Amino acid sequence: MPPSARPTRRDLLKAGAAAAAGVILPGAFDGRSWGVDTGREKLPVAAVVTVYRQMSHADVLVGKILEGWQQDGGPGPDLQLASLYVDQVGDGDLSRGLAEKHGFRLARTIDEAVTLGTDQVQVAGVLSIGEHGNYPTVPETGQVMYPRRRFFDEIAAAFRRCGRAVPTFNDKHLSFRWEDAKHMFDTARAMDFPLIAGSSVPVAWRYPQLELPRDSEIEAALTIGYGGLESYGFHTLEAHQAMIERRLGGETGLASVQAVTGENVAQAEAAGDWSGALFAAALRQMPGSPSDSRDWISNPASAAFLLRHRDGLKSACIMANGLAAEFAFAAKLVGREEPVATWFKLQPGAPFGHFAYLLRAIEHTIHTGQAAYPAERTLLASGALDRVMQSLAQGGKLLETPELEVAYEAAEWPYANHPDSPLMLPSD
């Protein structure tokens, strides 16, 4: 990040005064969320996690509640960990030592985590982090069967038993299985509690800054991703969805999903199913502007996810493994000759600052009782990912997806696209 983009000491002093007056200065340090004492109560939360070891998702989310945004004992969110349930305790577990240090309850069951062993919900929110750990895979597709639905169902059961429900966060996709994801979404709606879910990539820094205007007319869109086709394919799909959901008419859902590999990727480009021009535009935003070589197509770990939306938009996510380990987006808008494009910058080392912005959205949801952004985004991305994995298992078959008729409007929750915090700037 250029030094000129960083907040100055004067900015911070002005922002601190503004926070005290209840005012937010556009583009300045948001003191209410990032270390200025607001007098706001730290609300108690429960965390339900698969594992808690160094650099796990539990560590980089719950660790910021315990030890501050930088996980160094400094300022943190207006949340306090009351209880923790860990599904698998093994080598490298941090939870026992942290409980002794910070005094939170180590729960033996999820119900206990939510109720602290009583007949009442004793927390203002729940974080369900079903990522990492030793869990089986679906034989046909290789999808990891993380227990996210089990976690959710047991959290919801505690809510029902006590007659009170509170905001709940689900890390990453709702479930590896579409039917479970839909069940979780529908349950939250039926029980009327705020559900927030998903990836940290949509709230990561974007270079250059880019938020598509609401009601943009998009001709085509493409997101580049990397990594495991399920684990990082979800990040790519949700970042993609976070960008295109602002289009004219909002999101309407997916009519079909297809995932192709090898020579079929090049054939799909030739057929107009994904745009080489948008791929190049997205690539140019990445550090060093990697060469637009197509060698990645022959990489067996690469794939193209071809998405046909119910409103007629055709878009794609390109998992270009071997080309660049980055996420980037590009779109062709009606009336603009050149594509718009941005790079999602992550902080790859501790304290993994992009997760602080995800936690900030969780904090907002718990304090206001209103989801920072729609769970429909994650529901649709979860369903798309399941169908992507099914398509890959069937040799790239095109799958019609009438079940993915998920329509919604984008929220106005701001992504972390501006240097509003001296605490969480990414490394240069």
SS (H, E, C) the chain: CCHHHCCCHHHHHHHHHHHHCCCCCCCCCCCCCCCCCCCCCCEEEEEEECCCECCCHHHHHHHHHHHCCCCCCCCCCCEEEEEEEECCCCCCECHHHHHHHHCCEECCCHHHHHHCCCCCCCCCEEEEECCCCCCCECCCCCCECCCHHHHHHHHHHHHHHHCCCCCEEEEECCCCCHHHHHHHHHHHHHHCCCEEEECCHHHCEEECCCCCCCCECEEEEEEEECCCCCHHHHHHHHHHHHHHCCECCCECCEEEEEEECCHHHHHHHHCCCCCHHHHHHHHHCCCCCCCCCCHHHHCCCCEEEEEEECCCCEEEEEECCCCCCCEEEEEEECCCCCCEEEEEECCCCCCCCHHHHHHHHHHHHHHHCCCCCCHHHHHHHHHHHHHHHHHHHCCCCCEECHHHCCCECCCCCCCCCCCCCCCCCCCC
Domain assignment of residue 215, given as a range: 205-346+378-404
Domain identity same for 95 and 217: no
How far apart, in whole angstroms, are the C-alpha atoms of residue 79 and residue 64? 10
Query: How far does Cα 190 stand from its chain's mean position?
Result: 23
User: Among the three residues 198, 220, 254, which one is the final residue of a domain in this structure?
Assistant: 198
260: tokens are 């192709």
In a domain, 70, yes or no: yes
Distance between CA atoms of 48 and 46, rounded to whole angstroms? 7
Shared-domain flag, residues 239 and 382: yes
Do 224 and 187 lie in one domain? The reply is no
CA distance 321 to 310: 29
Residue with tokens 């990489």: 299
89 shares its domain with 161: yes
For residue 69, is it within any domain?
Answer: yes
- Which residue in 150, 157, 155 sits closest to 126, CA to CA? 155
Q: Do 302 and 341 have their domain in common?
A: yes
Let me know if residue 3 belongs to a domain. no
Whether 132 and 161 share a structural domain: yes
Rounded Cα distance between 191 and 156, Å, is 8
Question: Which residues are paired to 205 by β-bridges?
Answer: 345
CATH assignment of the domain containing 284 = 3.30.360
Q: Which of 28, 42, 26 has the alpha carbon at shortest distance from 75? A: 42
pTM of the entire structure? 0.90
Number of domains in the chain: 2
Q: Is residue 157 part of a domain?
A: yes
| Run means of pLDDT, 10 residues per run, the chain, 428 residues | 31 32 28 58 98 97 96 94 97 97 98 98 98 98 98 98 98 98 98 98 91 95 98 98 97 98 98 97 94 93 98 98 94 97 92 92 96 97 98 98 97 63 41
Q: Which residues contact 267 (CB under 8 A, 6 or more apart)?
A: 260
Same domain, 252 and 132: no
* CATH number for position 181: 3.40.50.720
Burial of 221-252, coded b for 16+ CB within 10 Å and e otherwise, reads bbbbbbbebbebbbbbbbbbbbbbbbbeebbb
Same-domain status, 325 and 256 = yes
| Closest to 122 in 3D by CA, of 100, 139, 107, 141 | 107
User: 294 and 232, same structural domain?
Assistant: yes
Same domain, 189 and 260: no
Q: Is residue 76 domain-shared with residue 163, that is, in the same domain?
A: yes
Determine the pLDDT at residue 292: 86
The CA-based angle 324-258-249, given to 5 degrees, is: 90
- Name the residue among 62, 81, 80 with its Cα closest to residue 71: 62
Evaluate whether residue 215 is within a structural domain: yes
Residue 290 lies in a domain: yes
Q: List CB contacts of 359: < 8 A, sequence separation 6 or more.
A: 61, 64, 65, 77
Q: Is 369 inside any structural domain?
A: no
Whether residues 133 and 178 fall in one domain: yes
Q: Looking at the domain assignment, is residue 351 inside a domain?
A: no
Domain boundary among 147, 175, 198: 198
